[in-house]
Structure 1
């Protein structure tokens, strides 16, 4: 039940982030639905392809699809009811979705007996894959490659689960809270991984 609630929170948060990007790019209603759905479910679809879960398993989430479509429709029709609130609390919900999906992806991979590297990749792709597809479709640089160690926290979740450092509801709950807190702190303090931009040099 706990993970069902977290999945609902993550799905709604990621779907709304897709709606925001679509409306910022002035997409029509179909564009809003597409960006919202790929953000909410794209990570799971990519994960399934890479770790061997049948892609058709995605369609077993009928309830989540229905919730996402209802939320996106309301968001598109009445943006004044939620946009300002999203700017205040959306980051928290996004962090919760990131943590829930990353842990879920890592658990999928471990249950299938995959090695540690695959568990880490599954966590990273489940948590960030939807946002990656969203940004590519919107013609933007993917957020997770350049901001606030976004993908790093998902990989840490995968590492912890892959090494069997946590188990049970309490252990996973602590890991979930840790990922959420780290994500929030990285935004607040603007933590970033080392990066370097290659300057264009002109020969004399």
Structure 2
């Protein structure tokens, strides 16, 4: 149940984020759907490809595909004056998607009985993969490569589950982790935390 709800939250958040970015870049409806679908599903597809696990294609995603399409349509029919406003607030939907997919990636690794290294990889690539796909398709620099602390939160999500600090069988603990990582991602954005060496040196 925790897995299903996290999937729904993550897909809706990232589909909305991708659609808003596409509209802010003045893409047509085809481009909006491409970004809106790539953002929630690219991370999981990339993860499975790297790990040589069976890939569930976008058209085989079942009700998650319908959630993504419905979210994209809602975003597309927003008043156009709202689009730039939502683009400025996109960090919040991105943070929700990042956190939810990072947890989902870690749970995938738990199901596959992976060790620490693959679990960190699963949580990180699942969490950031969709955002990278969105930014590349929108011809933006991927946030994971230059903005604040981004991928670290996805990696820490996997680490906390891998070392048993968070019990993967506890719904309550998983959702605490989910909300904490959203808060940390948003906090790192507003406080402008970076991992650049020159910034650390100045401190």
Aligned to 2:178: 176
The answer to whether the Cα contact below 8 Å between 2:45 and 2:56 also exists between their aligned partners in 1 is: no
Shift of 1:171: 2.2
In 1, the alpha carbon distance for the partners of 2:43 and 2:71 equals 19
TM-score by length of 1: 0.85
The answer to whether the Cα contact below 8 Å between 1:51 and 1:109 also exists between their aligned partners in 2 is: no
- Gap regions ≥5 residues in structure 1: 197-204
Q: Secondary structure at the match of 1:47?
A: helix
In 2, the alpha carbon distance for the partners of 1:176 and 1:21 equals 24
In 1, the alpha carbon distance for the partners of 2:77 and 2:175 equals 36
Aligned to 1:61: 61
Q: Which moved more, 1:74-83 or 1:111-120?
A: 74-83
Q: What per-residue deviation string (whole Å, max 9, x for no partner) do you get for residues 23-61 of structure 1? A: 222211111100110001111111122234310365542
Q: What per-residue deviation string (whole Å, max 9, x for no partner) do you get for residues 108-134 of structure 1? A: 112212221111111011111011112
1:138 aligns with 2:133: no
In 1, the alpha carbon distance for the partners of 2:70 and 2:9 equals 14
Aligned to 2:201: none
In 2, the alpha carbon distance for the partners of 1:105 and 1:113 equals 12
Aligned to 1:20: 20
Compared CA separation, residues 7 and 89, structure 1 to 2 (3 A):
farther
Shift of 1:8: 1.9
Structure having the higher Rg: 1
Compared CA separation, residues 82 and 63, structure 1 to 2 (3 A):
farther
In 1, the alpha carbon distance for the partners of 2:48 and 2:14 equals 18
Q: Which moved more, 1:116-125 or 1:73-82?
A: 73-82
TM-score by length of 2: 0.86
Compared CA separation, residues 56 and 14, structure 1 to 2 (3 A):
closer
- Gap regions ≥5 residues in structure 2: 199-203
In 2, the alpha carbon distance for the partners of 1:191 and 1:41 equals 28
1:192 aligns with 2:194: yes
Aligned to 1:76: 76
Shift of 1:166: 1.4
